[in-house]
A and B are shown apart, each in its own frame.
Chain A
């Protein structure tokens, strides 16, 4: 059981917008930076977002993220079938002095 809580699955139609939440605490998200990773089926994870809301240059602006209090949210607009993947949030846990991942969310594009 992860200290970061994500919904197990979300779904939306092509072209629509979807959001994925990541809920933590003051010792995790509340006082630390959040990263997001995309894992396409059968492949290694890939960095999508770092420092709460920054995108690497190779990531399209359809992907964005925000943080408020002890929760973070990843948003994907203009959904494509190629976005079907597992998405993970990650942050630092100040009480454990350790990195932690969320449990992951499977995105289905209907």
Chain B
């Protein structure tokens, strides 16, 4: 069974750093892209970027380029999303999701349960 299990909720102060995780199981982790999607409270889905764990090829949405860093560890089948300096506007639910291909044809077929990040002083 394909599963993506994300790390738990986080509460951080503005300016703090943070790294959240997404562990894949039940499939070949290095053969699929992992995407990250932000959902601010009461708002819609926003695509942040994708990473291909097989070779760490990473593509960022123009809106998130330079704001976050995506990485992956093949040895533990885990993808990461990190911030170096959080802002209150980063408060959101963050989802990871699996994607077979990146480009004009593709879709997110399995999703993690989400990780709630709250940034507040």
Contact = CB atoms under 8 A, between A and B. Distances in A.
Interface of A: 2, 31-33, 35, 37, 39, 44-47, 50-51, 56, 86, 88, 90, 92, 94, 96, 98-104
B109 A44 contact: no
Contacts, number: 65
- Secondary structure at chain A's binding surface: helix, strand, loop or mixed? strand
B45 A99 contact: no
B56 interface: no
Interface of B: 35, 37, 44-47, 50, 61-62, 95, 97, 103-114
A44 B46 contact: no
Contact of A45 (B95, B104, B106): B95
A106 to B, nearest CB: 10
B39 to A, nearest CB: 8
A98 B46 CA distance: 11
A98 B49 CA distance: 8
Given A47-B109, A100-B47, A31 B62 contact: no
A35 B45 contact: no
A37 B103 CA distance: 18
25 contacts: A2-B44, A32-B104, A37-B108, A44-B111, A44-B114, A45-B45, A45-B95, A45-B97, A45-B111, A47-B107, A47-B109, A51-B105, A51-B107, A56-B109, A88-B45, A90-B47, A92-B103, A96-B62, A98-B47, A98-B61, A98-B62, A99-B47, A99-B61, A101-B37, A101-B47
